[in-house]
Amino acid sequence: MQTLLLDSEDVDENALMEDVIWAVEDAFAAYEYGNAQMPAKSYIDLPQYNGDFRSMPAYMDAGEWDAAGLKWVNVHPDNPGEYELPTVMGTMIYSDPETAFPLAIMDGTELTMKRTGAAAAVATDYLAVEDATSLGIVGAGVQSYTQLDAIAAVRPIEEVVVSDLDDGRVQRFIDAYGDDFDVRSGSISEAGHCDVLSTVTPVTDPIVGLEDVGEHTHINAMGADAEGKHELTDDLLKAARIVIDDHKQCTHSGEINVPYNAGVLTDEDIYGEIGQIVVGDKSGRDADTGVSVFDSTGLAIQDVAAAHVVYEQASSADNGSPFDLVGVHDGN
End-to-end CA distance of the chain: 9
Give the separation between CA 293 and CA 232, rounded to whole angstroms. Answer: 10
> 71 an active-site residue?
yes
Contacts of 68 (CB under 8 A, 6+ apart): 57, 58, 59, 60, 94, 95, 96, 97, 304
Spot the catalytic one: 41, 71, 114, 229: 71
Helix, strand, coil percentages in the chain from 3-state DSSP, rounded to 5: 40, 25, 35
Helix axes 142-151, 17-33, angle to 10 degrees: 90
Q: Are the C-beta atoms of residues 293 and 255 closer than 8 Å to each other?
A: yes
Enclosing H/E stretch for 261: helix 257-261
User: How big is the chain by its Cα radius of gyration, in Å?
Assistant: 20
Q: Cβ distance 191 to 59 under 8 Å?
A: no
- Which amino acid, residue 197? L
Q: Are 8 and 110 in contact (CB under 8 A)?
A: yes
Catalytic site positions:
71
